[in-house]
Structure 1
Amino acid sequence: MPFARLASATTPTCHIGLGLAAVGRPGYINLGRDRDLPADRTVDALRERTHELLDAAYAQGVRYFDAARSYGRSEEFLANWLRARPDAGDVVIGSKWGYTYTADWTTEAERHEVKDHSLAAYERQRAETAALLGDRLDLYQIHSVTPDSPALTDKELHARLAEAAAQGLTVGFSTSGPAQADAVRAALAVTVDGERLFRTVQSTYNALETSAGPALAEAHDAGLTVIVKEGMANGRLAEPHAPEPLKAVAREAGLGCDAVALALVLRRPWAGVVLSGAATLGQLASNLHAPAVDLDEGQLTRLDALAEDPQVYWRQRGRLPWH
């Protein structure tokens, strides 16, 4: 597996990855984007910002980069960076299929992405990803699997994914929604010729949304690499939006709320890679302090008390505007 390359890494940031959802397109649901990105979010401006973040992350020891077909031009920006950085041959590259970007580079679109987990969608998007990332792609994930996703029962799709795995591509899935734990467990049961199909899982887990934790521990015990996304809850755990208990622990630690929030996730023994979704160099630098945060039992108890009912969490997430 490509993630075995990270196992021997010795930098404190080897368990932090950089996700490109926030910078591959002009609109996203993260809070504070009016401050984080230039007012004129042209393709060139966001390409430049993406490359700056990739350069800074690589220089600080980050070795996993995460894109998706639906993240606007994230795969294109990443491919451009890889061509310009032949020294970065040690990075692990992941992307996702299953959503199509439909916003046409605007923040005002009625629909920003359309979900389709069919075999036809996989074949189309696999070709599109291959045209950009070629053999630099290490991991290809089904984007936002839910318990009712046809991707969990489509045997023809499973066979095609197994073919890709046999050719050296790691096959995984991501989850979203209040039933993430059910989706993880259902995906763990998917096999082809008696072998488990998926080798990685990427799920939302943070101080506010912890419901997938037990299922992610099961996935880790089954041998999957666990990738954690949305550790900052789309900005709800960053200044100035962070809840007061998190702000208090951050003051005690002398670091940002974001570093503490990500440190909480990094402490989970099943967490293989925790994604930073930074949109600015300052955010990235602050996120990368997370491995240095030492939380005591009292602080952990206060942070654990922030967890919300998953239905409430995902309902609020669904109301976040595409800035």
Structure 2
Amino acid sequence: MELRELGQSGLKVSPVGLGLAALGRPGYINLGHADDLDEEYDSTLMQHRAAEVLQTAYEAGVRYFDAARSYGKAEQFLSHWIAAHPDQQEMTVGSKWGYEYTADWKIDAEVHEQKQHSLERLNQQWGESQALLSSHLNLYQIHSATLESGVLRNDAVLNRLKELKEFGFAIGLSVSGPEQSKVIEQALTIRNGKRLLFDTVQATWNLLERSAGPALEEAYRQGMGIIIKESLANGRLTERNRSPEFAAQLNLLQSHAQRLETTIDALCMAYVIQQPWVDVVLSGAATSEHLLSNLAASKVIIDEDFEIAFRSLHEDAASYWKTRSQLNWN
């Protein structure tokens, strides 16, 4: 895959990156996550699995890897894999702060992660991320910034992020929920001298949830790098979605995938990749097989017939995020 610039950050990324949310912990909300892990949750086995998927990704041309402090042992797994392959070059690594992993390696934990957008949490998790990823970490992001958390109005946090930027790190934010657009718009008002403080924004955008599109396009126009997560809607845009309410849409996706000689996952990811304001789309695959299927998206050409057929497929943001909140940790 040909590398591209991540906005004006100076970092280079592949069109498809690998997110480690499903690789670094035994429980996650992706449909079929337990099947992907063969219901084997020993941390050593999971580290071997993560290393296999990471190596498959690298050999296929993936050059952006995305972790977070709340993704269980994702940073640890990533750092071990990098250390085992010191000859690998041209890699961009991003991580996030703001959520603490609280599941204690349990699938049925009452609370899987706890959010706190304070200066204390930033400093604590910055130290933890640095201890694991050291010189490999290029991009540090606020994890799921929201209007409610007030993080984009917290001068102490913003000043600390400016300090980290002066040390040479790119600074970003990820957003979630029905008000993604408003958070992005707020981020675009925050300056560091004459330039934007935030180099990148990571948001959910897919066939079902397109509400943040205009805000993301504006952020791209102003020079921010655009990272898209959950392009497959946590598995809802795959054959694993057996909801009766989605049967007609799934049949339509299957017919277009067959027509274009690809898979449903690659087709849906291709739609995101080909948006002109998107820099990198994350695969959330937990197996090499699924990752390679996702990576085929870079060769799929979305045509007008597909555009017309799926113009009205999307849900309103509130409904989408309500459904997402009801997905089971598995």
Q: TM exceeds 0.5? A: yes
Shift of 1:135: 1.4
Match runs of 1:1-323 below 5 Å: 4-6=10-12, 14-241=14-241, 243-323=250-330
Shift of 1:5: 4.8
Q: Distance in 1 between matches of 2:33 and 2:116?
A: 28
Would you say the 8 A contact 1:159–1:192 is kept in 2?
no
Would you say the 8 A contact 2:267–2:300 is kept in 1?
yes
Per-residue CA deviations over 1:270-322 (Å, capped at 9, x if unaligned) read 10000000111110110010011112111112123210000000000000010
Would you say the 8 A contact 1:259–1:290 is kept in 2?
yes
Q: Give the residue type in structure 2 aligned to 1:144.
A: S
Shift of 1:201: 0.2
| 130-139 vs 302-311, which moves further | 302-311
Query: Partner residue of 1:11?
Result: none
Would you say the 8 A contact 1:30–1:234 is kept in 2?
yes
Q: Give the residue type in structure 2 aligned to 1:116.
A: Q
Higher RCO (C-alpha 8 Å, min separation 6): 2
Q: Give the residue type in structure 2 aligned to 1:255.
A: T
Q: Distance in 2 between matches of 1:304 and 1:47?
A: 41
Match of 1:140, SS state, is strand
Q: Distance in 2 between matches of 1:94 and 1:301?
A: 35
Q: Give the residue type in structure 2 aligned to 1:232.
A: L
Q: Distance in 1 between matches of 2:193 and 2:159?
A: 9
| 19-28 vs 238-247, which moves further | 238-247
Q: Give the residue type in structure 2 aligned to 1:148.
A: E
Unaligned runs of 5+ in 1: 8-13
Q: Distance in 1 between matches of 2:118 and 2:302?
A: 44
Q: Distance in 2 between matches of 1:304 and 1:58?
A: 34
Would you say the 8 A contact 1:118–1:150 is kept in 2?
no
TM normalised by structure 1 equals 0.95
Q: Give the residue type in structure 2 aligned to 1:201.
A: V
Shift of 1:194: 4.3
TM normalised by structure 2 equals 0.93
Q: Distance in 1 between matches of 2:251 and 2:177?
A: 25
Q: Distance in 2 between matches of 1:194 and 1:118?
A: 25
Would you say the 8 A contact 1:263–1:291 is kept in 2?
yes
Q: Distance in 2 between matches of 1:152 and 1:4?
A: 23
Would you say the 8 A contact 1:38–1:45 is kept in 2?
no
Match of 2:281, SS state, is strand
Per-residue CA deviations over 1:156-179 (Å, capped at 9, x if unaligned) read 111110010011010000000001
Match of 2:93, SS state, is strand
Q: Distance in 1 between matches of 2:137 and 2:12?
A: 15
**Percent same amino acid at aligned positions?**
46
Q: Give the residue type in structure 1 aligned to 2:298.
A: P
Q: Distance in 2 between matches of 1:173 and 1:23?
A: 21
Per-residue CA deviations over 1:236-286 (Å, capped at 9, x if unaligned) read 011132722222211111211000000000111010000000111110110
Residue correspondences, number: 317
Shift of 1:38: 2.3
| 107-116 vs 238-247, which moves further | 238-247
Q: Give the residue type in structure 1 aligned to 2:107.
A: T
Per-residue CA deviations over 1:2-55 (Å, capped at 9, x if unaligned) read 764537xxxxxx210000000100000000113211222110111011100110
Match of 2:276, SS state, is coil
Match of 2:202, SS state, is strand
Q: Distance in 2 between matches of 1:257 and 1:176?
A: 24
